[in-house]
Structure 1
Amino acid sequence: MKLSYILMGLTLLFTTAAHAVGSVGKIAPKVIVLAGFEVGDDTGDAPGEFQYWAEREKLTGTLAVPGAPHPLRYNAAGLYGSVAGNTRDKFLSTVPASELIMALCLDPQLDLRKTYWIINGISGIDPAAGSIGSAVWAANVVDADAMREIAESEMPKSWPYGLFAIGTTAPNQLPKTHADAGGWGGATLSYTMNYPLNAALTRWAYGFSRSHATLDDSPALKAWREKYTVYPAARQPPQIMMGGTLATARYWHGEARTQWARDWVKLWTGGKDRFVTTAMEQAAYVGTLQRMAKQGRVDFNRVMMLRSASNYSLPPTGQDVTTTIGDESLGTVPAFEAQYRAGSVVVHELLKHWDHYEKVIPTP
């Protein structure tokens, strides 16, 4: 037998072993974990949202995906992962998150129809809901970028803030669905700012991780928590929770904007969920996945959202708001750890019992 045929056979054998093969002969990842940003390299330096996954899950294989901002990394168990942004990037934008999903879903070498997705990353947390170092599964991803805005100094005195939905005339109103609602060109408006995920899958992931994972605490975290004297939830040790996540590219901070976030999540979920975490790119991820699901490329019922808390969304009582905005120094590494611990046990369960979960989406 010619050497070329032997090498071809070995290549095919390796490819089949390294990747699960779908029904149409494509690569079929069992689980894909996606993160928002990484610090420098994927491994071996200061961690970002993806590094613990890449190192601890031994995602040593790489698969180039045309159009993706970062290649897929994978292991032999069927876990794949990638990241949308990097601290080396020259621009700050949530666009790469959408680009990454589009590239993955349109790549002809991938079959993602049975793939489970865990979108994970760090976030701010409402001190009225929980504490830094916690991990929060979200059944609702609420977008808060597209809206109307009036400066607080110019808004009517009766308004709580100058942020309100397109198609409305004041805060805390849903848009009217008729042609004179003041939308684009006078068009009828019928839209939502919420991307609801599979609530049963979210509850399962929450329950499973709570019973199989533990989160770290530290004297430094405890000392910082104690400063939030009027927020009992903020002073609790880190825990695994459920709650809505708000997505906005604007890095907002403070009591007034936190109240707006609480109202916005309540408004767009019909009062069925509460604001717990705030981050940037999660709506870009799930919004694009929802569009790809409508084309039959993914199963949106298999999408999960996990945010861990690196900071509070407002300063301790009596402290100036400018002293804490953007300060994630204390909680960042514990948040990286929390998201990995809460998420990895769910991943391992899905992979270990893939024969079952490939066909049946887990429920509580």
Structure 2
Amino acid sequence: MLRRRIALLAGWLAIAGCQPLLAAEEVKVVVVANWENGADSGDAPGEYQDWVEREHLDQKIAVRGAPDAVRRNAQGLYGLVLRHGAPDLVAFILDPRFDFSHTYWLFTGISGVDPNTGSVGSVAWARWVIDGDRARELDDRDIPKGWPYGLFAIGASRPDQLPDNPNHYGSVTDVAELSQALPLNQGLAHWAYQLSRKVPLADDNVIAARRKAWQGYPMAQQPPMVLEGETLGAIRYWHGASRNRWAEDWVKMWTRGQGRFVMTNEESQTYQRIMITMGHEGFVDLKRILVLRSASNFSMPPPGGSSTASIGDEAPGQVLAFDNNQRAGSVVLHQLLQHWAQYRLQIPSVPAPAAH
């Protein structure tokens, strides 16, 4: 449905005389943030402000349908904050003044981190974006004996099972169409990881003190680090040990054991599906998309802690997550911009080791 609507909108623009100009500006790199507190600079930071201030995204670009959403700097880096969500992203991509044929996209954002894989303040380059929305659900109090939870794949008959009967879902006849693993360019992601893995990350005294509560979770007790691992997007804000187990299993299942759950958030699945649609319609190159998430909090409470007390407890981790996202991501974007003559046609890639 989304793909059809975007195609219709593109056709309408053409009919209205809005075909891309011959001299459309070739956009090199775009960094995408999901939201911002107040102004883009000069006040308390959100996901966008560190990028605006540190990368000197001083020039505002008026885009119809995405007011006050796009900026750029003198080096050709564009910034996009999705103040209105998906409409801002679509409006920018469909603006005929810009050519996104060779554009690299960095989707950023803060997340909850799995304490089995990382710590607050850490950042992770994704190899897949996993959709956590499209599922069957039974209340956990009503599940059959032996089930770990009540969430399972459409077309499957129980949790931790890939779809085996596509006809269980409307008119879908191909099991592959039900996949919730949205692949990224793993060679590009591993290249980005190799560039940024030794970048000095910030830490925080309050966060460091909180890490001591994570007895039995050695990764959660580490200072912020750069990781490789998957981002799970779900509109509902879930939290707790049971759902964390589901997330780990869900990512492992859909990537057929090749991926691992690291970060959880509410929007990455939506935007990746939009980019897939845009790629299929020829507006963007899907091989040039990067996703970098940074941890503002854990996806479950520490041992002995309360889920209701810890859910949504992102401060002071947010500021640390904003900071480290820009520190790690900027190294990659600068490399792309400084060597644009090479990377315009040749996508950088480093063979990724077997995911786990």
Alignment-mate amino acid for residue 136 of structure 1? A
What corresponds to 1:160 in structure 2?
148
Q: For 1:243 and 1:215, how far apart are their aligned partners in 2? A: 18
The answer to whether the aligner puts 1:101 opposite 2:89 as a matched pair is: yes
What corresponds to 2:195 in structure 1?
208
What corresponds to 2:181 in structure 1?
194
1:120-269 paired onto structure 2 within 5 Å: 120-178=108-166, 181-184=167-170, 189=175, 190-211=177-198, 213-269=199-255
SS, match of residue 120 in structure 1: strand
Q: For 1:160 and 1:68, how far apart are their aligned partners in 2? A: 43
Contact 1:52 1:336 in 2 (8 A): yes
Structure 1 segments unaligned to the other structure (5+ residues): 1-21, 86-95
Q: Give the drift of 1:78.
A: 0.6
Q: Give the drift of 1:256.
A: 0.2
Contact 2:61 2:68 in 1 (8 A): no
Is the alpha carbon distance of 1:28 and 1:241 closer, same or farther for their aligned partners in structure 2, counting shifts above 3 Å? same
Structure 2 segments unaligned to the other structure (5+ residues): 1-19, 351-356
CA RMSD of aligned residues (A): 1.6
What corresponds to 1:76 in structure 2?
74
Q: For 1:227 and 1:70, how far apart are their aligned partners in 2? A: 42
Contact 2:118 2:262 in 1 (8 A): yes
Q: Give the drift of 1:187.
A: 5.4
Q: Give the drift of 1:191.
A: 2.1
Contact 1:131 1:235 in 2 (8 A): yes
Contact 1:70 1:84 in 2 (8 A): no
Q: For 1:288 and 1:246, how far apart are their aligned partners in 2? A: 16
Q: For 2:304 and 2:105, how far apart are their aligned partners in 1? A: 41
What corresponds to 1:114 in structure 2?
102
Contact 1:69 1:99 in 2 (8 A): no
Q: For 1:113 and 1:97, how far apart are their aligned partners in 2? A: 22
If the length of structure 1 is used for normalisation, what is the TM-score?
0.87
Alignment-mate amino acid for residue 24 of structure 2? K
Q: For 2:171 and 2:296, how far apart are their aligned partners in 1? A: 41
Q: Give the drift of 1:23.
A: 9.6
Query: Any idea what the Cα deviations from partners look like across 1:320-346, whole Å, max 9, x if unmatched?
Result: 111100010121111001100000111
Q: For 1:227 and 1:184, how far apart are their aligned partners in 2? A: 47
How many aligned residue pairs are there? 330
SS, match of residue 232 in structure 1: coil
Alignment-mate amino acid for residue 314 of structure 2? E
Name which of 305, 313, 330 aligns with 2:316.
330
Alignment-mate amino acid for residue 159 of structure 1? W
Q: Give the drift of 1:101.
A: 2.6
If the length of structure 2 is used for normalisation, what is the TM-score?
0.89
Query: Any idea what the Cα deviations from partners look like across 1:143-173, whole Å, max 9, x if unmatched?
Result: 0111111111111121100111112221111
Contact 2:82 2:89 in 1 (8 A): no
The answer to whether the aligner puts 1:356 opposite 2:356 as a matched pair is: no
Contact 1:120 1:307 in 2 (8 A): yes
Q: For 2:211 and 2:39, how far apart are their aligned partners in 1? A: 32
Q: For 2:273 and 2:172, how far apart are their aligned partners in 1? A: 25
Q: Give the drift of 1:357.
A: 1.0
Query: Any idea what the Cα deviations from partners look like across 1:294-352, whole Å, max 9, x if unmatched?
Result: 12211111100000000011111011111100010121111001100000111111111
From the CA coordinates, give the structure whose radius of gyration is larger.
1
Q: Give the drift of 1:175.
A: 1.3
Q: For 1:110 and 1:23, how far apart are their aligned partners in 2? A: 8
Q: Give the drift of 1:100.
A: 2.5
SS, match of residue 153 in structure 1: helix
Is the alpha carbon distance of 1:342 and 1:188 closer, same or farther for their aligned partners in structure 2, counting shifts above 3 Å? closer
Query: Any idea what the Cα deviations from partners look like across 1:214-243, whole Å, max 9, x if unmatched?
Result: 101233221111100010110011101100
What corresponds to 2:5 in structure 1?
none
